[in-house]
């Protein structure tokens, strides 16, 4: 009986170590991929594809940066929403969208550790500033609406007549609904809109 308890104890201990190490491995892997992306962004040259990443130079040139000071968020925004891109960064939801025009939509995973992706997006409050940086310009938005929506409520992404907005979307903690944060464009490169 004592030997059986020891074997069971060792098996439970090993199982626990494996379960703890899996998320740590994924975190390490994610960190490697993000560092490769950041290195590629800093080394953009005339090469068709930057070594160590699956991104072409054109794709890297299209990367934006989203900054929300109130939640200490500063994340890259990739131009296409794919499962691979969502693992690395935030992504643009609509094709051929341009900052400062219509409703610029960004999606991101909620993240389960630290300040990755949109883990703290639900902490944003009405009136917070959101900065969307391109290589040449900075677009400043003020948060005007925060809502919990169903995954099927895609009309939140639609352009509204005469409005220049940003909409940021992530999952709720349960994953069953979405947090949608909308802001209106108030400034471009220091010029009030």
| Tens of pLDDT, residues 69-94 | 999 999 889 888 888 777 778 889 99
Q: What is the pTM of this model?
A: 0.71
- Report percent pLDDT > 90 for the chain: 39
Beta bridge partners of 178: 149, 171
| Statement: residue 120 has pLDDT above 50 | yes
Residue of 186, 150, 147 lying closest to 165 (CA atoms): 186
62-192 has CATH 3.40.50.150 classification: no
How confident is the model at residue 67, as a pLDDT? 95
Q: What three-state secondary structure class fits 153?
A: coil
Domain ranges, ordered by start, for the chain = 1-59, 62-192
* Model confidence pLDDT, tens digit, residues 92-116: 999 889 999 999 999 998 865 556 6
Segment among 12-21, 33-42, 100-109 with least mean pLDDT: 33-42
How confident is the model at residue 167, as a pLDDT? 96
**φ/ψ of residue 182, rounded to 5:** -115, 145
How confident is the model at residue 9, as a pLDDT? 79
SS3 content of the chain, % helix, strand, coil (to 5): 30, 30, 40
Distance CA 184, CA 142 (A): 5
Question: What are the tokens at 33?
Answer: 């991929």
Give catalytic residues, as residue numbers. 109, 171
For the segment 41-51, the average pLDDT, to the nearest whole number, is 44
Better pLDDT: 67 or 57: 67
Q: For residue 146, what is the DSSP state?
A: E
Predicted confidence band at 117 (pLDDT cuts at 50, 70, 90)? confident
How confident is the model at residue 115, as a pLDDT? 63
Better pLDDT: 40 or 190: 190
Predicted confidence band at 34 (pLDDT cuts at 50, 70, 90)? low
Say which residues have a Cβ less than 8 Å from residue 108's Cβ, sequence separation at least 6. 75, 86, 89, 90, 91, 117, 118, 121, 168, 169, 170
DSSP 41-98: HHT--S-SB-TTSS-BHHHHHT-EEEEEGGGTEEEEEESS--HHHHHHSEEESSTT--
């Amino acid at each position: 009986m004592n030997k059986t308890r020891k074997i069971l104890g060792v098996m439970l201990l090993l199982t626990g170590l494996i379960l703890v190490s899996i998320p740590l491995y994924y975190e390490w892997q994610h960190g490697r991929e993000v560092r490769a992306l950041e290195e590629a962004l800093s080394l953009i040259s005339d090469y068709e594809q930057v070594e160590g990443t699956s991104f072409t130079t054109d794709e890297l040139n299209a990367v934006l940066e989203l900054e929300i000071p109130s939640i200490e968020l500063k994340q890259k925004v990739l131009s296409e929403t794919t499962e691979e891109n969502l693992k690395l960064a935030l992504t643009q939801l609509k094709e051929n969208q341009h900052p400062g025009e219509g409703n610029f939509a960004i999606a991101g995973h909620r993240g389960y550790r630290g300040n990755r992706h949109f883990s703290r997006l639900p902490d944003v409050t009405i009136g917070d500033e959101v900065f969307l940086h391109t290589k040449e310009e900075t677009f400043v938005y003020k948060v005007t609406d925060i809502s919990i929506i169903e995954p099927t409520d895609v009309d939140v992404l639609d352009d509204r007549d005469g409005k220049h907005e940003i909409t940021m979307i992530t999952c709720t903690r349960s994953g069953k609904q979405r947090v949608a944060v909308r802001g209106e464009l108030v400034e471009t490169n220091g010029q009030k809109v």
